[in-house]
Amino acid sequence: MDHLDHNRKMWDARVKVHTRSDLYATKRLRDGGLALDRIEIDALGKIAGLDVLNLQCHFGLSTLSMARMGAKVTGVDFSGAAIEAARELADELGIDARFIHSTVERLRGVDASEYDVVFASYGVLCWIGDLDAWARTAFEPEFDT
Ligand SMILES: C[S@@+](CC[C@H](N)C(=O)[O-])C[C@H]1O[C@@H](n2cnc3c(N)ncnc32)[C@H](O)[C@@H]1O
């Protein structure tokens, strides 16, 4: 099993733990608020009406929060379990969002260059084996690795 498959398996298993954990601000989102910290909200600024791509969206908390801020959102994650949980949460909360199952390094099913904002937050880079490929998706999306 290579690094990516090993890592994906670990994340698939973590999803059902994290969706039930108080470490994540799921309750805040369910209560109608945002699951983003002040530093993230300030960094994002006014995103209403913008197309936002959220790299490594996990089970959707940040992506759905940005939708609540008025953005048109797409979340990407390589964990099928995470994408499934994110879609379920979006349905439950009636929030319009698109979730794509793909690695960031070789992004499939979405063209990052079409987005106004590409967002990634806590706990993303430490899992990436090929940081150059990750950065090309985030900053030079037309470059196919
Ligand atoms: C710590 S979580 C991200 C949490 C997220 N920033 C938040 O605030 O909710 C890391 C995520 O990265 C995803 N991930 C790890 N390596 C990836 C890769 N190469 N491509 C896409 N997703 C990846 C995992 O499945 C996991 O959902």
Residue whose token pair is 């904002």: 117
Per the domain annotation, does 96 fall within a domain? yes
Per the domain annotation, does 65 fall within a domain? yes
Per the domain annotation, does 145 fall within a domain? no
Per the domain annotation, does 56 fall within a domain? yes
Per the domain annotation, does 70 fall within a domain? yes
Per the domain annotation, does 36 fall within a domain? yes
CA distance 128 to 16: 22
CA of 56 to the centre of ligand 1 (A): 4
Closest C-alpha to ligand 1, atom 4: 58
Closest C-alpha to ligand 1, atom 10: 124
Number of structural domains (the chain) is 1
Pair 49, 106: CB distance under 8 Å: no
CA of 50 to the centre of ligand 1 (A): 22
Helices 80-93 & 3-18 angle (0-180, nearest 10): 30
Q: What is the CATH number of the domain that holds 71?
A: 3.40.50.150
Q: What is the pLDDT along the chain (145 residues), one digit of tens a residue?
A: 688 999 999 999 999 999 999 999 999 999 999 999 999 999 999 999 999 999 999 999 999 999 999 999 999 999 999 999 999 999 999 999 999 999 999 998 888 889 999 999 999 999 999 999 999 998 865 555 4
What is the CB < 6 Å shell around ligand 1?
A: 7, 11, 56, 58, 61-62, 77-79, 82, 103-105, 121-124, 127-128
Per the domain annotation, does 144 fall within a domain? no
What is the extent of the structural domain holding 22?
Answer: 3-139
Please give the model's pTM, rounded to 2 decimal places. 0.94
